[in-house]
């Protein structure tokens, strides 16, 4: 693998460089961000619950979970240049950790989850399930477990300078391996069925629409918090370093930074976000199964990000929600032909809006002030701070 | 400065979460089942039913035929005046071979369309995904495919075979033919793995040896190794629970290894007329299948069903067991509703016990206690024309026993 990674072709894969976008004044920038967050919060917390039926709101909760994964991919891929085609693994780790705890809580202390008796014929709970009975272990594990896996994998891979297509293939292989593992261990993982029929969420009955609404609010709040975190990272010195590594890893190395560490941080953070998304997906949808974490769903996460605009803050979120929503809407409207329509949509967006839906905003703005402003790809630009110039 | 702003936004978001969570505390799990269920909308002169099948993805090839059979039954019923003087209005959704999508669409059919019943699902994983949705909303699902048993939901009617109506009779047949050793080949998912557990328990109790057990991932086409292992094992017969495309590769490999139906017969439980066509008759001729219905099953009801199906969908389209079970499920629902005199789910369930229907497969009876159907088991042999002809049947309908409680050897299974 090392020899492959040092291949000169892969070592030099700079993304095509769009011209640098002139930075907006800092005060205007901040003002816009605050208004944006307030607007998003109002939309998610006030408008959506009022306008949407219980069923549609629970669908939105599901879309927002996908959007959380997208925020992480936006950071790792859009800003860090790591095409992570295996985010399903981290989503799954978070989801399974949460579902294992909820299944154990449903079964009650001392009992085993229903499927283990049906498929496993086990006499007692397997050792590796036991810690998940405690929420104090399971809840942190939903985030820390994916982060730990990403850390180990990332440490091995980035130091060896595995990049580009090789990194993408590796992350996919991980997703495939995890699915095979889960299916093979049917007695303890539920096999292809996954973990289903989850009744309660920390003592609250998930069948109750009021509690479903609560889960939605938690998800919406978490997404906003993750967006704030991502924005903070992107605006920080670290964020600039990350973009610099994406655009020219060698140059950053010559400047004395360690690109491997820079990439590792983004990769681990993205994994943590995916894990959190998986954990919240479980109470929102009531199921986690290998079908949700394999190669296809992992690619679907990335498609949403690509469509939204990978290097922007909001692009991945909007893209993920738009793709998931379109999937539902098209499949309800045209049950027989929707897959073709969805494919067509992907082709059209990628062909005519390579910067994603977020570049539409750029187009609109250009029309506003007549200044050519191509897509906002978050280029490395000199830092402008008040008083620092 | 950015640091402070970031924190402020973070703090704001967290406060919102906490406030929302506090404001919206619903019932606890200890309160018992609080959901009231969603009543079907029967106010108009039609009654909606949901059709939930995969029209895209790997399962589409099988599930589309089930959808067609359900549509045929609905058309026939509507032509004859409908149910309780209401015409049936089908609402179709695509499960897309994706289990969470099945759950989403089931919820949509129940809550948005307010259907009186849903017909569909194929794989066990999709059924397990929608089961809590139907139980939560107290809505009805009719599941038309043979499955691995060990389930009994109050809101699901199982119109396909459970294990004691398909797999166990298949094994009885092999035993009667003098088979003393088996090799198990299956796809890697819940049905084959569970079926093989049952087969192993049966074999142990009946003095048969299981010489090997191999699983291939769903959709796998690599069968060189497995076929070699099967060949060198020298088993009397192979019990095949492979699903879908894998069968094509397996049987081609099987034939090229020099194995034939005469030397080492394969009993398949997921190969029906439709699959025979796609695998190729030359690879399957003489091999055995275990089902409850074949296109060749004699009887006026079947002649009518086959003729109607071919008239609607084309003369080259075969009919198969899951299609027949789906077709029958619509008629059974109609009979239950008419006996209950209402579309109300609980009343329909109460009325279900003892409902009979002269189905293409023969007389079927609903067992109200298990919500399964008493069916006749049939072992068939694939002929040169691609159709399956019966070589053995159980003589009378077998009472469903999803947990195999009446079989002493199955004591440790559930």
Same domain, B280 and B168: yes
Assess if residue B41 is contained within a domain: no
Q: What is the least distance, in Å, from the CA of A120 to any CA of chain B?
A: 9
Q: List, for residues A223-261, the tens digit of each pLDDT value.
A: 999 999 999 999 999 999 999 999 999 999 999 999 999
pLDDT category of residue B11 using cuts at 50, 70 and 90: low
Average pLDDT over residues A114-131: 81
Residue B330: pLDDT above 90?
yes
Test the A interface: residue of B18, B108, B129, B403 with most A CBs within 10 Å: B129
Q: What pLDDT sits at residue B14?
A: 55
Between positions 160 and 219 of A, the ones with CB within 8 A of B are: 180, 183-184, 186, 191-194, 196-200, 203-205, 207-211, 213-214, 217-218
Cα A337 to chain centroid, rounded: 28
Q: What is the least distance, in Å, from the CA of A44 to any CA of chain B?
A: 11
Q: List, for residues B112-146, the tens digit of each pLDDT value.
A: 999 999 999 998 889 999 999 999 999 999 999 99
Domain holding B326, by residue range, is 46-161+302-374
Query: Judging by beta carbons within 10 Å of its beta carbon (0-12, 13-18, 19+), is residue B89 exposed, middle or buried?
Result: middle
Q: What pLDDT sits at residue A355?
A: 80
Same domain, B322 and B239: no
Determine the residue of chain B that is closest to A292 in CA distance: B100
Average pLDDT, chain B: 89
Which two structure tokens, joined as six digits, stand for A156?
């091995």
pLDDT category of residue B348 using cuts at 50, 70 and 90: very high
Residues in B touching A224 (Cβ below 8 Å): 9, 13, 16
Q: What pLDDT sits at residue A29?
A: 67
Residues in B touching A328 (Cβ below 8 Å): 104
Residue B59: pLDDT above 90?
no
CATH number of the structural domain spanning residue B212: 3.40.50.2300
Same domain, B61 and B121: yes
Residue B403: pLDDT above 70?
yes
Give the torsion sign (CA, A290, B252, B171, B175).
negative
Q: List, for residues A283-326, the tens digit of each pLDDT value.
A: 999 999 998 999 989 999 999 999 898 889 999 999 999 999 98
Q: What pLDDT sits at residue B379?
A: 97
Q: Per-residue b/e over A310-322, b at no fewer than 16 CB within 10 Å?
A: bbbbbbbbbbbbb
Assess if residue A151 is contained within a domain: yes
Q: Touching check for A123 and chain B: CB below 8 Å?
A: no
Same domain, B367 and B384: no
Same domain, B156 and B179: no
Q: How many domains does one find in chain B?
A: 2
Residues in A touching B104 (Cβ below 8 Å): 59, 62, 285, 328
| DSSP letter string, A258-308 | -HHHHHHHHHHHHHHHHHHHHHHHHHHHS-B-GGGTSHHHHHHHHHHHHHH
Same domain, B82 and B223: no
Assess if residue B266 is contained within a domain: yes
Between positions 127 and 156 of B, the ones with CB within 8 A of A are: 128-129, 131-133, 136, 150
Between positions 7 and 66 of B, the ones with CB within 8 A of A are: 9-10, 12-14, 16-17, 20-21, 24-31, 33-35, 55-56
Can you name the residues that pair with B209 across neighbouring β-strands? B181
Assess if residue B97 is contained within a domain: yes
Which residue in the set B28, B30, B150 is minimally distant from A118, CB to CB?
B150
Rounded CA separation A357/A130 (Å): 45
Assess if residue A35 is contained within a domain: no
Q: List, for residues B211-254, the tens digit of each pLDDT value.
A: 999 998 877 888 999 999 999 999 999 999 998 778 889 999 99
Assess if residue A4 is contained within a domain: no
Q: How many domains does one find in chain A?
A: 1
Assess if residue B14 is contained within a domain: no
Q: Touching check for B103 and chain A: CB below 8 Å?
A: yes
Q: What is the least distance, in Å, from the CA of A8 to any CA of chain B?
A: 36
3-state secondary structure of B60: helix
Determine the residue of chain B that is closest to A54 in CA distance: B111
Q: What is the least distance, in Å, from the CA of A218 to any CA of chain B?
A: 6
Residues in B touching A235 (Cβ below 8 Å): 2, 6
Same domain, B260 and B170: yes
Closest CA to B154 of B343, B331, B346, B326: B346
Assess if residue B72 is contained within a domain: yes
Q: Please give the backbone phi and psi of residue B242, each rounded to the nearest 5 degrees, phi first.
A: -70, 150
pLDDT category of residue A336 using cuts at 50, 70 and 90: confident
Same domain, B185 and B211: yes
pLDDT category of residue A16 using cuts at 50, 70 and 90: very low
Same domain, B106 and B203: no
Same domain, B60 and B77: yes
pLDDT category of residue A200 using cuts at 50, 70 and 90: confident
Average pLDDT over residues A211-227: 94
Cα–Cα distances in angstroms (integers) from residue B266 to residues B209, B212, B263, B294, in the given order = 16, 14, 10, 18
Between positions 242 and 281 of A, the ones with CB within 8 A of B are: none
Dihedral class, residue B21 (left if φ above 0, else alpha if ψ from -120 to 50, else beta): alpha
3-state secondary structure of A16: coil
Q: What is the reported pTM?
A: 0.85
Q: What pLDDT sits at residue B243?
A: 83
Task: Decide if B144 contacts B159 (C-beta within 8 A).
Answer: yes
| A284-298, B9-23, B264-278, range with the lowest pLDDT | B9-23
Q: Touching check for A342 and chain B: CB below 8 Å?
A: no
Q: Touching check for A25 and chain B: CB below 8 Å?
A: no
Residue B378: pLDDT above 70?
yes
Answer with the residue of higher pLDDT: B238 or A25. B238
Can you name the residues that pair with B143 across neighbouring β-strands? B158
3-state secondary structure of B375: strand
Cα–Cα distances in angstroms (integers) from residue B345 to residues B81, B119, B138, B369, in the given order = 21, 14, 7, 16
Q: Touching check for B2 and chain A: CB below 8 Å?
A: yes
Q: Touching check for A339 and chain B: CB below 8 Å?
A: yes
Q: What pLDDT sits at residue A36?
A: 84
Assess if residue B197 is contained within a domain: yes
Q: Touching check for A295 and chain B: CB below 8 Å?
A: no
Domain holding A176, by residue range, is 41-292
Q: Touching check for B104 and chain A: CB below 8 Å?
A: yes
Residue B8: pLDDT above 60?
no
Residue contact B55–A203, C-beta within 8 A: no
Between positions 189 and 248 of B, the ones with CB within 8 A of A are: 189-190, 193-194, 197, 215, 217-218
Which residue in the set B29, B99, B190 is minimally distant from A119, CB to CB?
B190
Residue A1: pLDDT above 50?
no
Rounded CA separation A146/A268 (Å): 8
Residue contact B17–A217, C-beta within 8 A: yes
Same domain, B131 and B71: yes
Residue contact A209–B128, C-beta within 8 A: no
Assess if residue B67 is contained within a domain: yes
Rounded CA separation B394/B373 (Å): 15
Q: What pLDDT sits at residue B13?
A: 53
Residue contact B100–A291, C-beta within 8 A: yes
Q: Touching check for A122 and chain B: CB below 8 Å?
A: no
Assess if residue A232 is contained within a domain: yes
Same domain, B66 and B152: yes
Determine the residue of chain A that is closest to B37 in CA distance: A207
Assess if residue B1 is contained within a domain: no
Q: Touching check for A8 and chain B: CB below 8 Å?
A: no
Q: What pLDDT sits at residue A346?
A: 82
Test the A interface: residue of B7, B21, B24, B204 with most A CBs within 10 Å: B24
| DSSP letter string, B194-235 | HHHHHHHHHHHHTT-EEEEEEEE-TT----HHHHHHHHHHT-
């Amino acid at each position: 693998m090392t020899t492959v990674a040092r291949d000169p072709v892969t070592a030099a894969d700079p993304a095509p460089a769009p011209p640098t976008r002139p930075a907006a004044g800092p005060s205007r920038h901040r003002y816009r961000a605050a208004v944006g967050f307030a607007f998003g919060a109002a939309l998610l917390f006030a408008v959506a619950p009022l306008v949407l039926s219980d069923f549609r709101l629970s669908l939105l909760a599901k879309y927002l979970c996908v959007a959380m994964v997208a925020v992480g991919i936006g950071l790792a891929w859009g800003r860090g240049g790591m095409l992570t085609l295996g985010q399903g693994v981290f989503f799954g780790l978070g989801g399974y950790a949460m579902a294992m705890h909820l299944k154990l809580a449903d079964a009650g202390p001392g009992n085993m989850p229903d499927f283990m008796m049906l498929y496993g014929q086990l006499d007692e709970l397997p050792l590796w399930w036991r810690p998940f009975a405690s929420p104090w272990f399971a809840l942190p594990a939903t985030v820390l477990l994916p982060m730990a896996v990403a850390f180990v994998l990332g440490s091995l891979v980035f130091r060896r300078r595995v990049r580009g297509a090789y990194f993408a293939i590796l992350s996919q292989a991980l997703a495939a391996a995890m699915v095979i593992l889960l299916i093979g261990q049917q007695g303890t993982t539920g096999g292809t069925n996954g973990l289903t029929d989850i009744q309660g969420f920390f003592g609250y009955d998930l069948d109750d629409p009021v509690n479903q609404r609560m889960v939605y609010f938690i998800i919406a709040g978490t997404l906003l918090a993750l967006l704030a975190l991502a924005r903070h990272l992107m605006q920080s010195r670290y964020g600039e370093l990350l973009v610099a590594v994406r655009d020219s890893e060698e140059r950053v190395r010559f400047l004395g930074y360690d690109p491997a560490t820079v990439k590792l941080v983004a990769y681990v953070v993205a994994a943590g976000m995916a894990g959190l998304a998986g954990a919240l997906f479980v109470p929102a949808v009531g199921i986690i199964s290998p079908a949700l974490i394999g190669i296809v769903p992992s690619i679907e996460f990335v498609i949403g990000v690509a469509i939204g605009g990978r290097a922007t803050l909001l692009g991945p979120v909007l893209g993920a929600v738009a793709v998931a929503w379109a999937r539902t809407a098209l499949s309800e409207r045209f049950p027989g032909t929707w897959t073709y329509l969805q494919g067509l949509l992907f082709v059209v967006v990628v062909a005519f809006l390579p910067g994603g839906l977020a570049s539409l905003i750029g187009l609109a703005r250009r029309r506003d002030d007549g200044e050519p402003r191509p897509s906002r790809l978050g280029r490395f630009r000199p830092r402008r701070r008040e008083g620092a110039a | 400065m950015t640091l402070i702003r970031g924190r402020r936004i973070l703090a704001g978001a967290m406060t919102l979460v906490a406030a929302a969570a506090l404001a919206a505390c619903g019932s606890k799990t200890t309160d018992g089942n609080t959901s009231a269920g969603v009543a079907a909308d029967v106010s108009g002169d039609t009654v909606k039913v949901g059709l939930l099948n995969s029209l895209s993805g790997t399962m589409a090839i099988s599930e589309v035929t089930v959808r067609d059979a359900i549509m045929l039954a609905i058309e026939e019923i509507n032509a004859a005046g409908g149910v309780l003087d209401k015409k049936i209005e089908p609402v179709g959704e695509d499960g897309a071979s994706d289990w969470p999508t099945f759950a989403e669409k089931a919820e949509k059919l129940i809550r948005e369309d307010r259907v009186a019943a849903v017909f569909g699902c194929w794989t066990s994983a999709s059924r397990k995904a929608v089961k809590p949705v139907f139980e939560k909303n107290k809505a009805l699902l009719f599941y038309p495919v043979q499955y691995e048993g060990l389930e009994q939901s109050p809101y699901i009617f199982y119109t396909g075979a459970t294990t004691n109506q398909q797999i166990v009779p298949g094994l009885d047949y092999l035993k009667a033919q003098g088979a003393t050793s088996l090799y198990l080949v299956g796809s890697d998912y819940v049905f084959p793995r569970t079926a093989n557990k049952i087969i192993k328990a049966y074999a142990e109790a009946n003095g048969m040896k299981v010489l090997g057990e191999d699983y291939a991932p769903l959709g796998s086409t690599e069968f060189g190794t497995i076929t070699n292992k099967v060949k060198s094992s020298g088993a009397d017969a192979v019990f095949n629970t492979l699903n879908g495309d894998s069968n094509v590769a397996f049987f081609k490999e099987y034939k090229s290894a020099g194995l034939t139906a005469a030397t080492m017969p394969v009993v398949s439980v997921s190969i029906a007329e439709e699959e025979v066509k796609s695998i190729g008759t030359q690879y399957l001729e003489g091999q055995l299948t275990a089902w409850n219905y074949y296109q060749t099953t004699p009887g006026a009801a079947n002649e009518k069903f086959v003729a109607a199906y071919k008239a609607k969908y084309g003369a080259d389209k075969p009919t198969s067991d899951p299609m027949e079970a789906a077709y029958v499920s619509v008629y059974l629902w109609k009979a239950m509703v008419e006996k209950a005199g209402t579309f109300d789910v609980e009343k329909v369930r109460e009325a279900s016990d003892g409902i009979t229907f002269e189905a293409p497969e023969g007389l079927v009876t609903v067992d109200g206690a298990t919500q399964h159907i008493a069916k006749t088991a049939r072992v068939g042999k694939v002929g040169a024309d691609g159709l399956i002809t019966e070589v053995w049947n159980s003589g009378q309908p077998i009472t469903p026993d999803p947990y195999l409680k009446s079989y002493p050897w199955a004591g440790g299974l559930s």
